[in-house]
Chain A
Amino acid sequence: MTGIDALLRVRGLTKRYGRRTACEDVSFEVYPGEILGIVGESGSGKSTVLQCVYLDAGADAGSIRLAGEEITEADVLRRRWLRSFRMGMVHQDAARGLDLNVSAGGNIAERLLAADWRHVGRIRSRGTDLLARVEVAADRVDDLASAYSGGMRQRLQLAKAMANEPPLLLLDEPTSSLDVHVQAAILDLIKELHGQTGVAMVVVSHDLGVIRLLAQRTLVMYRGRVVESGVTEQVLEDPQDAYTQLLVASSLG
Chain B
Amino acid sequence: MSGDGLTDGRDGAGRTAGRLAGLVARAGQQHGDGYSFAFLDEHTKRELRRRTLKAVALPGHQVAFGSREMPLARGWGTGGIQLTLSLVGPADVVKVIDQGDDASMNAVNIRALIGRTTGVRTTRDAAEATLIQTRHRIPDGPVHPAAIVVLQVPFPEPLRLVEPSDAVTRRMHAERDYSKMWLYLYEDIVRYGRISLSYRYPCMVNGTVLMDPTPIPRHDVAKLHQSPRLHLFGAGREQRVYALPPYTDVVPLDFEDHPFETERAGAPCSRCGSEMSFRTEVPGHGWLCSDTAYCDSRVGSA
Q: Tell me which residues from 142 to 175 in chain B have a Cβ below 8 Å from any Cβ of chain A.
A: 175
Whether B257 lies near A102 (C-beta < 8 A) is no
Q: How far is the CA of A120 from the CA of B187 in the complex (A)?
A: 10
Interface centre among A118, A122, A142, by most B CB within 10 Å? A118
Asked whether A102 and B256 contact (CB < 8 A) given A110-B179, A113-B179, the answer is no
Q: How far is the CA of A119 from the CA of B186 in the complex (A)?
A: 9
Report A73-112 CB contacts with B as 1/0, cut-off 8 Å: 0001100100000000000000000010011011001100
Assess whether A121 is interfacial by the CB under 8 Å rule: yes
- Contact among B175, B176, B183, B256 with A109 in the assembled complex (CB-CB below 8 Å): B183
Whether B187 lies near A102 (C-beta < 8 A) is yes
Whether A120 lies near B183 (C-beta < 8 A) is no
Q: How far is the CA of A57 from the CA of B258 in the complex (A)?
A: 39
Whether B183 lies near A119 (C-beta < 8 A) is no
Whether B255 lies near A80 (C-beta < 8 A) is no
Assess whether B182 is interfacial by the CB under 8 Å rule: yes
* Residues on B with beta carbons closer than 8 Å to the beta carbon of A185: none
User: Nearest chain-A residue to B195 (Cβ)?
Assistant: A120
* Residues on A with beta carbons closer than 8 Å to the beta carbon of B186: 106, 109, 113, 120, 123
User: Nearest chain-A residue to B179 (Cβ)?
Assistant: A114
At the interface, is chain A mostly helix, strand, loop or mixed? helix
Whether B189 lies near A120 (C-beta < 8 A) is yes
Whether B190 lies near A119 (C-beta < 8 A) is no
Whether A121 lies near B175 (C-beta < 8 A) is no
* Residues on A with beta carbons closer than 8 Å to the beta carbon of B187: 102-103, 106
Assess whether A124 is interfacial by the CB under 8 Å rule: yes
**Min distance, Cβ B290 to any Cβ of chain A, angstroms:** 31
Assess whether B177 is interfacial by the CB under 8 Å rule: yes
Whether B190 lies near A142 (C-beta < 8 A) is yes
User: Nearest chain-B residue to A109 (Cβ)?
Assistant: B186
- Contact among A103, A110, A119 with B255 in the assembled complex (CB-CB below 8 Å): A119
Q: How far is the CA of A114 from the CA of B177 in the complex (A)?
A: 8
Interface centre among A80, A99, A113, by most B CB within 10 Å? A113
Asked whether A118 and B183 contact (CB < 8 A) given A77-B175, A142-B190, the answer is no
Q: How far is the CA of A105 from the CA of B189 in the complex (A)?
A: 12
At the interface, is chain B mostly helix, strand, loop or mixed? helix
Interface centre among A105, A114, A122, by most B CB within 10 Å? A114
* Residues on A with beta carbons closer than 8 Å to the beta carbon of B177: 80, 114
Q: How far is the CA of A120 from the CA of B256 in the complex (A)?
A: 8
* Residues on B with beta carbons closer than 8 Å to the beta carbon of A76: 175
Whether A103 lies near B190 (C-beta < 8 A) is yes
Whether A110 lies near B256 (C-beta < 8 A) is no
- Contact among B183, B256, B257, B258 with A106 in the assembled complex (CB-CB below 8 Å): B183
Whether A113 lies near B190 (C-beta < 8 A) is no
* Residues on A with beta carbons closer than 8 Å to the beta carbon of B191: 142
* Residues on A with beta carbons closer than 8 Å to the beta carbon of B255: 118-120
Q: Tell me which residues from 194 to 223 in chain A have a Cβ below 8 Å from any Cβ of chain B.
A: none
* Residues on B with beta carbons closer than 8 Å to the beta carbon of A105: 190
* Residues on A with beta carbons closer than 8 Å to the beta carbon of B182: 113
* Residues on B with beta carbons closer than 8 Å to the beta carbon of A120: 186, 189-190, 255, 257-258
Interface centre among B176, B179, B186, by most A CB within 10 Å? B186
Q: How far is the CA of A122 from the CA of B256 in the complex (A)?
A: 10
User: Nearest chain-A residue to B183 (Cβ)?
Assistant: A110
* Residues on A with beta carbons closer than 8 Å to the beta carbon of B258: 120
**Min distance, Cβ B173 to any Cβ of chain A, angstroms:** 12
* Residues on A with beta carbons closer than 8 Å to the beta carbon of B256: 118-119
Report A116-137 CB contacts with B as 1/0, cut-off 8 Å: 0011111110000000000000
User: Nearest chain-A residue to B175 (Cβ)?
Assistant: A76
User: Nearest chain-A residue to B253 (Cβ)?
Assistant: A118
**Min distance, Cβ B153 to any Cβ of chain A, angstroms:** 27
Interface centre among B179, B180, B256, B257, by most A CB within 10 Å? B179
Whether A113 lies near B257 (C-beta < 8 A) is no
**Min distance, Cβ B89 to any Cβ of chain A, angstroms:** 44
* Residues on A with beta carbons closer than 8 Å to the beta carbon of B179: 110, 113-114
Q: How far is the CA of A122 from the CA of B182 in the complex (A)?
A: 15
Q: How far is the CA of A208 from the CA of B228 in the complex (A)?
A: 68
Q: How far is the CA of A120 from the CA of B193 in the complex (A)?
A: 10
User: Nearest chain-B residue to A144 (Cβ)?
Assistant: B187
User: Nearest chain-A residue to B177 (Cβ)?
Assistant: A80
User: Nearest chain-A residue to B255 (Cβ)?
Assistant: A120
**Min distance, Cβ A76 to any Cβ of chain B, angstroms:** 5
**Min distance, Cβ A75 to any Cβ of chain B, angstroms:** 9
* Residues on A with beta carbons closer than 8 Å to the beta carbon of B257: 119-122
Whether A102 lies near B175 (C-beta < 8 A) is no
16 contacts between A and B (CB under 8 A): A76-B175, A80-B175, A80-B177, A102-B183, A103-B190, A105-B190, A106-B186, A109-B186, A110-B183, A118-B255, A119-B256, A119-B257, A120-B257, A122-B257, A123-B186, A142-B190
10 further A-B pairs in the complex, CB-CB below 8 A; given A80-B175, A102-B183: A76-B175, A80-B177, A103-B190, A106-B190, A109-B183, A120-B190, A120-B255, A121-B257, A123-B186, A142-B191
